[in-house]
Structure 1
Amino acid sequence: MSWTALAHPPDTLALLALALAIEAGAGYPDALYRALGHPVTWIGRLIAALDRRLNRGFPAARRAAGVVALGLLLGVVGIAALGLTAAAGLAGPVAGIAVLAVLAASLPAQRSLHQHVARVAAGLREDGLPGGRSAVAMIVGRDPQTLDEAGICRAAIESLSENFSDGIVAPAFWIGLGGLPGGALYKAINTADSMVGHRTPRHEAFGWAAARLDDLVNLPASRLTALLIVAAAARHRGASPAGAWEAVWRDARRHRSPNAGWPEAAMAGALGLRLAGPRVYDGVTVRDAWMGGGRAEAGPADVERALAVYRTACLLLWLLTAVAATLLALV
């Protein structure tokens, strides 16, 4: 088998199924992070260097520089990922997929997302508002001091829902389509958006290309994430798949983000909550539509219910991947 075969289904789906299982079971080991860092930190250093060197001048020049920077970023990441795929191909089909799966396991974040969100519920239960605010500040950008218990819990559930889409389902989608290069290129785009895709004086023009491309590449995953949450809700007593679907149909397109509303509306409807709505970032209130028509008063038990739905949705994602890989291998 040539190395190029490892960049096409069914092998990309097989390595995705293995990568998801590895990451769910082991995450990204702390010792490895301390020794070598993480692919996102490597990508982040390159983005920061490009930002320092190219982000200057008047707005039109900054926008053009942002396009160039994004192209350079994707070129470097794509070449590196293709090189690793080629090297893995030399080991043969089975060993090659195993090697690529270990590498690809660094791209989704099922385990770490669960841990961070679970700490919010634990912080509230153990240390009250200070504990909850400290934990939620690790996963959201809004000012935690403005949040009461309900606001903390809504923020944690919103973060869980949105990051399930762009931190897990989206890299999985692109790994499934394009193997390690597909997943790595997605992660580069998403990291660039998180670092420079903001409407601030420095980055509004420079980060325009990254923000628009991130919206595009997240579009299929956000819809798939909503469907996974709807299906997962059917497996939990007290969760409503019909409510999830109704909220998606009614509210998802009303969110200021073209993608975040889909998983947030699905989770809100599944749990009988209202998510999103007005929020405070750096002292500025952002007026956004509510997702879901339930209660706004969320508590730690609701965070734990959301985590239960999330775990089932992750399992469904893996099952879909494994079944698709098996069926394609039999064709």
Structure 2
Amino acid sequence: MAAPLALLSMLVELAVGYPAWLVRRAGHPVTWMGHLISWLDTRLNDPARESAARRRAGRIALVLLLLVVGASAFLLEAALLLLPFGLLFVALAASMLIAQRSLYGHVAAVADALETSSLEDARTAVSQIVGRDTAQLDEAGVVRAAIESLAENFSDGVVSPVFWLGLAGLTGGAAYKAINTADSMIGHRSPRYEDFGRAAAKFDDVVNLPGSRLSGLLLVGAAALTQDASAKRAWNTMRRDAAKHASPNAGTPEAAIAGALDVALGGPRAYADSHTDGAWLGDGRRDATPSDLRAALRLYVRADGLLIALVAVVAALGATLSATV
């Protein structure tokens, strides 16, 4: 177990985030992974080949991606741990895989635009964190989209990377992020990626399963600590509606936060080249307001605090057990 690393990484990311100047100069690990995925896509994904061959190529691409990313992370962690205060340096590297600060900032920007600027600015802000077409969203649609993104990204941008960091160190966290990035780039259903991206999409579902369930429980716990939120309703809605979502994982935190806030999330949505009639999660109001988005952010902060406390307890228990052996 590498719970101390996961804990320290969360605290580092909360304190300093990932500085914009560093992004401009060196990029970001997700960007580097994206370049590798694009390279593999260009060389292995031949549209002229049959479906079975393209699926095999997709599996090969995923294996190569994990080998490169996993080996790089393993060697980096081993090298950094040789340095004085090596764990701190590993935590600095691992903090790049977690998105606590940036997630809050992106969603808060939507709330700020709704409260102090214009609906058009809010649509622009929410377009930075969702894949759907935001041009025609009304205020309630913008709020729902932002809350859904907050819930889903709490799972795959915070809880899941922390889970895999705690389980398998920097190697586990980096491998998880590579799978998640591959899913976002090639795991969608389109003529080019229906076959080639199948392995990435399926594997992403598997590695996100523990984090999605934990994120739902953390949001239920956060609701119990939050005025004007209902833990009971969050729990009941999560159990009843999570499976209605098209994703086997995103539905869990989205249904939990919908129940906690007594709003309805999901429903029909438009994308650049398609339209989907998604199921509604929760029995609450569909006319969500900016105050609901602020309430969702408060829930997120408390759920993240519970996650930090949970990892701290696991780290302490691990240290105690190690001392007694």
- Equivalent residues in 2 for 1:1-331, closer than 5 Å: 9=1, 12-56=2-46, 57-91=49-83, 95-331=85-321
**What runs of 5+ residues in structure 2 fail to find an aligned partner?**
none
2:174 alignment partner AA: A
SS in 1 for 2:125: helix
In structure 1, distance between residues paired with 2:160 and 2:254:
15
Determine if contact 1:23/1:106 at 8 Å carries over to the other structure. yes
SS in 1 for 2:229: coil
**TM-score by structure 2 length?**
0.97
2:197 alignment partner AA: G
Q: Output one character per residue of 1:48-68: Cα deviation in whole Å (capped at 9) or x when no partner.
A: 011111100222221111111
In structure 1, distance between residues paired with 2:122 and 2:82:
49
Question: What is the RMSD computed on CA atoms of the aligned residues?
Answer: 0.9
In structure 2, distance between residues paired with 1:34 and 1:183:
23
SS in 1 for 2:135: helix
Aligned residues: 319
Determine if contact 1:146/1:280 at 8 Å carries over to the other structure. no
122-131 vs 136-145, which deviates more? 122-131
2:105 alignment partner AA: Q
In structure 1, distance between residues paired with 2:98 and 2:80:
20
Determine if contact 1:55/1:206 at 8 Å carries over to the other structure. yes
SS in 2 for 1:290: strand
Q: Output one character per residue of 1:171-228: Cα deviation in whole Å (capped at 9) or x when no partner.
A: 0000000000000000000000000001000011110000000000000100000000
In structure 1, distance between residues paired with 2:128 and 2:285:
25
In structure 2, distance between residues paired with 1:125 and 1:219:
35
Q: Among all aligned residue pairs of Structure 1 and Structure 2, give the percentage whose two residues are the same amino acid.
A: 55
In structure 1, distance between residues paired with 2:118 and 2:18:
30
Note the C-alpha offset of 1:21: 0.6
In structure 1, distance between residues paired with 2:26 and 2:135:
34
Q: Output one character per residue of 1:106-129: Cα deviation in whole Å (capped at 9) or x when no partner.
A: 001000000000011111122221
Note the C-alpha offset of 1:146: 2.2
In structure 2, distance between residues paired with 1:30 and 1:189:
24
In structure 2, distance between residues paired with 1:76 and 1:40:
14
2:199 alignment partner AA: A
2:70 alignment partner AA: G
101-110 vs 82-91, which deviates more? 82-91
SS in 2 for 1:287: strand
Note the C-alpha offset of 1:283: 4.7
**TM-score by structure 1 length?**
0.95
Determine if contact 2:81/2:90 at 8 Å carries over to the other structure. no
